[in-house]
Structure 1
Amino acid sequence: MRGGTQISREGAREAGKRLGRVLDALCAMVAPGLSTAALEAQARVLIAKEGAEPAFLGYRPHGAPRPYPAALNVSINEIAAHGIPTEPERVIREGDLVKIDLGLRYRGVVVDAARSVLAGKG
C-alpha cells in the first residue's frame, strides 16, 4: 500500500486478518454434500461475526443489469470464477474443485481474496 498512512496500513492489515479467518472457516466446510447456498449463508454469518460487511453483496458496476446478489463467489470445476452460489445452487461432489472468492468491508477498508479447495479425498 504505497503512500498510505499508518492508520490505513493498520486498517488494511486488520481487515485482511478478518478476511483470512472467514476464508479459513469456509474452506474447512467444503465437503461432498454441502450446497453452495449453505456456503453463502455461512459466509454472511461469519462476516457479521467479524464486525464486517460483505463487499460483493449489492455491488453494481456501471452497465450491470442488477446488483450482485451474494456475499461471495463460488465456482466449481469448469466455472473459472465469479459463480453466484445461489444461481443455480449446486451441491459439492467428491473431487470437485471449489473456488471461493470473498470480499469484505471493515471500517471502510475493502479487502478481497480467493482460495481453491478440493472437496473430499480427491
Structure 2
Amino acid sequence: MIELKSPAEIERMHTTGQFVAQILSEFSELADVGVNLLDLEHHVRGRIRQRGAQSCYWDYAPSFGNGPFRNVTCLSVNDAVLHGLPHDYALRDGDVVTMDLAVGIDGWVADAARTVIVGTPAEDDLRLLRATEEALAAGIGAARPDNRLGDISAAIAAVATDYGYPVNTEFGGHGLGRTMHEDPHVPNTGRAGRGLKLRAGMTLALEPWFARTTDRIVYDPDGWTIRSADGSRTAHSEHTIAITGDGPLVLTQRLPRHAAPASA
C-alpha cells in the first residue's frame, strides 16, 4: 500500500532530510586517512542524540540481516557497498567509503547515502562514483507525475549501461515516510513506460549502486556487510525525494546556508 503525503507531511520529511544531508556533509569532511570507522559511527550517534532524532537502523532486524543492527550508520569500504557494519578499521589513502544514513524526526523519515574517496583518488574510482551520481540524477529527473516507476528504473540503468557497469537487481530504492521501508520497491533497472504510475505525494528513496565488474554480491560473516562477489570496488548514491505537481523535490539535498526548505 502506498501512502501519499500531503504538502505539510512532505515539509516535515524535508526537515528530516536536511538533517541527514548535514550529517553526510560532515562525513565528507571527516572521512580522511587514519580516521577509524568507529569514530565516524560515534560522531553520528552524538549528532542524532543532540538533535533528538531516532536512528532507523538501531535494532533493525530484516530477514536478510544477522540479528538486530546495533549501529546508526552503514559504513561500507572499497568492495563493500551496502549495510557495512562499522568496525575497527582506520581509513587508508585511496579507500572508497560510503555512509548510508536513515533517521526519523518527529515521526518522519529521510534516507540518503554518499560515497567519498579518501586521500588520493584513482581515476577508475572517480568514474564509478560519477556514474552513481549521474544515475541518481537521471532517476530523479524521471520522477514526475504520470510517468511510470519503470521510467525511473530505466533512467538509472541507462547511465550504468553507458558507463559499462552491470546492475544488481536484488537491492534498490524504496518508498519511505513514516517508516524507513514502504512500498514500492524501486529497482535500479527496468523498462520505461511500465509499472506503477507515479503520483504527486509519493516519497521515494532512490539509490543506484554499482560494482565495477560484477552484478553479483556476497555477505561477510557478520551477516550484514554486502560486497561485490569478485572484490571489485563499489559506489552508492542515494537521495530521498518527493514527487510534486511541479516535479521531483530532493529532500536530502543540502540547502545553502540561511535558505529555508521550499514548500511542496
Q: One-letter code of the match for 1:97?
A: V
Q: Write out aligned runs for 1:1-122 (5 A).
A: 3-62=4-63, 64-86=65-87, 89-122=88-121
Q: Which runs of 5+ in 1 are unaligned?
A: none
Query: Is the 1:26–1:42 contact (alpha carbons within 8 Å) kept by the matching residues of 2?
Result: no
For 1:103 and 1:83, the matched residues in 2 are separated by 14
Q: One-letter code of the match for 1:44?
A: R
Q: Shift of the alpha carbon at 1:105?
A: 0.9
Equivalent residue pairs, number = 120
Report % sequence identity.
27
TM-score of the superposition, structure 1-length normalised?
A: 0.89
Deviates more, 1:35-44 or 1:50-59: 50-59
Q: Shift of the alpha carbon at 1:80?
A: 1.8
TM-score of the superposition, structure 2-length normalised?
A: 0.43
Query: Is the 1:55–1:103 contact (alpha carbons within 8 Å) kept by the matching residues of 2?
Result: yes
Query: Is the 1:77–1:98 contact (alpha carbons within 8 Å) kept by the matching residues of 2?
Result: yes
For 1:96 and 1:62, the matched residues in 2 are separated by 30
Query: Is the 1:56–1:103 contact (alpha carbons within 8 Å) kept by the matching residues of 2?
Result: yes
The verdict on how the C-alpha distance between 1:51 and 1:3 changes in structure 2, with shifts beyond 3 A counting, is same
Instruction: Give the ranges of 4+ consecutive aligned residues of structure 1 lying more than 3 Å apart after TM superposition.
Output: 62-65
Q: Shift of the alpha carbon at 1:3?
A: 2.9
Q: Shift of the alpha carbon at 1:120?
A: 1.3
For 1:62 and 1:94, the matched residues in 2 are separated by 35
Deviates more, 1:58-67 or 1:93-102: 58-67
For 1:19 and 1:26, the matched residues in 2 are separated by 11
Q: One-letter code of the match for 2:81?
A: A
Q: Shift of the alpha carbon at 1:4?
A: 1.2
Q: One-letter code of the match for 2:55?
A: P
RMSD (CA atoms): 1.8
For 1:2 and 1:115, the matched residues in 2 are separated by 27
Q: Which runs of 5+ in 2 are unaligned?
A: 122-264
